[in-house]
Structure 1
Amino acid sequence: MLEDRISALIATLAEMECAIGALSEIQTQAGLARVNVLLRSLRSGDVGAALRRHWRASRPGGRGGGVRLVLSAVS
């Protein structure tokens, strides 16, 4: 009885470790995709849009509210 419960717990922990690994991989891929979009925008010359996208993506809660990024060009 106790051995069965322990075996079930160990199996559950192993599944959870696999799930955490998969989620970490997804998080890494999402971060890399954000960086690629930022680099593409920078290369196209649209620095303002690139920084706004990066700023929105990196803020907790995503869109709306919060601090506003203001860019100004100095000649």
Structure 2
Amino acid sequence: MRIVEQIAHPQCQITVYAWNGKYLLKFEQPMLEQTYKVSEMDLTGPDEVKSLLNEAFIARVLRRFDEMRADWQQNLSDVS
């Protein structure tokens, strides 16, 4: 797996990888991560990957992090 680019964002770390004919878009916050895969054949090149990372999509990713965190906290409460 090769790192193509790391993209600065104030609320999460975004890393683009190239691996096995795909681009992996990995979003990370402490203790959580989300990964999205797109075939290299569906894009003209690595520069097009950044066009997928528009404001609306990143907002949904951040909301999903909130949901994931809430689900995990609920799960921990249920086990205790």
Of Structure 1 and Structure 2, the greater strand share is in: 2
Of Structure 1 and Structure 2, the greater helix share is in: 1
Same fold (TM over 0.5): no
Q: TM-score, normalised on structure 1?
A: 0.36
Q: Which has the larger radius of gyration?
A: 1
Q: TM-score, normalised on structure 2?
A: 0.34
